Structure 1
Amino acid sequence: MNTLKRSALALALVAGLAAAPMASTQNYSDGIPVKPMSKFRNFEDQQQVDQQSRQQYAQLLGQAQQKQALMPDNHPQVIRLRAIARRLIPFTTRWNPDAANWKWEVNLLNSATVNAFCMPGGRIAFYSGILTKLNLTDDEVAIVMGHEIGHALREHGREQAGKATTANLFGRVASIGLSAWLGVDQRLTDAGANAVTQLAVLKFSREDESEADQVGLDLAARAGYDPRAGVALWTKMSQLNQGQPLEFLSTHPSGSSRIDDMNRNMPLVLPVFARARGLDPDALPPYHSMAISRR
């Protein structure tokens, strides 16, 4: 029954999106413009998502503590991460007003994994590998953290679930219609429809990554962190991720695409950064990064 309800909701929503004009971007005086939140996220119950997030985060921390991999509150890197988060958080409500009520947490896991994430509700975790292997400056940490916070602020998890439901529904409908029209076994058309659906979902994910990049740049700049660190970060990441899959078949944009997008947005965020630091936007000093660790 839940599946039928969600399918009906998907059909109604897509029909409404097709009939309605595109929502206009909200106007702000500076920075990256904030677009309306995706309606696809309405397929998933927010309270249920938040509850699952709390449980999963608590479970992760519990497992890390058992393995002595949860870094203590007085660890220098934990103190560093939390200080950066405190500067970013005041600007999160620009992207999602609900963030004002989030119970923010920041923790560090002792692992060589090059990763970080922010769960719904503001539950942030970094793996030590991303700090040490990429030799991140504070500005680069702010870009990573802002990107991960961006996923949570824009509720990309809920949005992805809604888009997947819609894509699967229309793939199924298309398969049935194509099977009847061609007079072939529906299992043959199902295979083609599933392939198309998977490619559509991958594209949805790449779009979310790009939006999270923009949120991260904007948050970092407003908090006084140099947004040019984003270019340095993805240059490092590209050096570390040789042999990555083709962008077309990946859930993440390629490093070069991300760098191009960031450079296109620099005219929007550099004046914000300069204002936050009390600098002349036309005479900013060069950004200096640090080389990645080869150990």
Structure 2
Amino acid sequence: MSKTLVLCALSAGLLLAGCQSVNTTSGGAVGVERKQYMFSMLSTDEVNQMYAQSYQKTVGEATSKGVLDKTSNDARRVQAIADRLIAQAPKFRPDSAQWKWEVNLIKSDELNANCGPGGKIFFYTGLIDSLKLTDDEIAAIMGHEIAHALREHGREAMSKAYGIEMAKQGAGALFGLGQGSLALADTVANYGMTLPNSRSNENEADLIGLELAARAGYNPNAAITLWNKMSKASEGSPPEFMSTHPASSSRIASLQAAIPKVMPLYEQAKKS
């Protein structure tokens, strides 16, 4: 399908789906103000519950394999950093104070981290060990991932998928009760939960994550050292984290430009 046809299908699908124009977070010092289009029948609570089930399944599997780390020094580090960042999340999104946040460290060589809808966080020991991360650098990664959840980038991607699929299959596939409806829902869930974020979403997560870390008292300059480390780690065979979070000179330049906006917040947090 050509780009023009895809855009037409998306526009028609969004109209059929009854999408709403929203801004999930306040702009903050970094000024993230983009309006988002969300499918009105796919609520925040529904997406959060959908992901929570998947998250608990993964936690259970990690527990059974003996790779869920709840007691090590790194596990305590990750939890403490997460607690400080989570405390700042309501500055961008007040209702996140009522989310059922969870943080788990997985013992794995994988270089990966994630914060899914509703504040469900995974962090992998491979990131800490391979990149020798400081607390400030862990906060940079985790702040970035939390920002994706606050902005509901997963739900946004799912809404776009509904629009495209509805335009291709017709509204009846969504609102009916047959196999077509189930297949559509499965397609949309996979689209929203597994595909990489857009460059626009990545930039938003970079900026909001930078501010979250600064407000929590973590040096925002660590975002630069982090992505430099990530760039070196991506040489040869890129780690999974890099496959969905590409480091580039433009990304680092954008972060460097935003640091002066959040540095006063960091200085204030250090004094409190």
Pairwise TM-score range, normalised by the shorter structure = 0.7 to 0.9
CA contact (8 A) 2:13 2:165 kept: no
Q: 1:207 to 1:155 in 2, by over 3 A?
A: same
1:233 and 2:237 are equivalent in the alignment? no
2:251 maps to a residue whose letter is R
* SS of 1:218 mapped into structure 2: helix
CA contact (8 A) 2:148 2:201 kept: yes
1:213 and 2:206 are equivalent in the alignment? yes
Of the candidates 15, 18, 23, which is equivalent to residue 11 of structure 1? Answer: 15
Q: How many correspondences in the alignment? A: 235
* SS of 1:40 mapped into structure 2: strand
1:71 maps to: 69
Distance in 2 of aligned mates of 1:267 and 1:156: 26
CA contact (8 A) 2:214 2:266 kept: yes
CA contact (8 A) 1:235 1:255 kept: no
Distance in 1 of aligned mates of 2:39 and 2:18: 13
CA contact (8 A) 1:227 1:266 kept: yes
Q: Quick one: percent identity of the two aligned structures?
A: 43
1:158 maps to: 155
Distance in 1 of aligned mates of 2:19 and 2:155: 20
Please give the per-residue CA displacement for 1:35-90, whole angstroms capped at 9, x wherever unaligned.
26513354523232122222111110110111110112x21111111111111112
Distance in 1 of aligned mates of 2:56 and 2:19: 40
1:224 maps to: 217
2:261 maps to: 268
1:139 and 2:136 are equivalent in the alignment? yes
Q: RMSD between aligned alpha carbons? A: 3.3
CA contact (8 A) 2:16 2:163 kept: no
CA shift, 1:7, in A, is 8.4
1:108 and 2:105 are equivalent in the alignment? yes
Distance in 2 of aligned mates of 1:15 and 1:69: 41
1:44-63 alignment to 2 at 5 Å?
Answer: 44-63=42-61
* SS of 1:39 mapped into structure 2: strand
Structure 2: gaps of 5 or more residues: 1-9, 171-190
2:254 maps to a residue whose letter is D
Structure 1: gaps of 5 or more residues: 1-5, 174-197, 280-295
CA contact (8 A) 1:156 1:208 kept: yes
Structure showing greater Rg: 1
CA contact (8 A) 1:237 1:255 kept: no
1:119 and 2:120 are equivalent in the alignment? no
2:102 maps to a residue whose letter is E
2:7 maps to: none
CA contact (8 A) 1:147 1:213 kept: yes
1:160-179 alignment to 2 at 5 Å?
Answer: 160-167=157-164
CA shift, 1:203, in A, is 9.4
Taking structure 1 as the reference length, the TM-score comes to: 0.70
Taking structure 2 as the reference length, the TM-score comes to: 0.75
CA contact (8 A) 1:43 1:162 kept: no
CA contact (8 A) 2:20 2:37 kept: no
CA shift, 1:101, in A, is 0.3
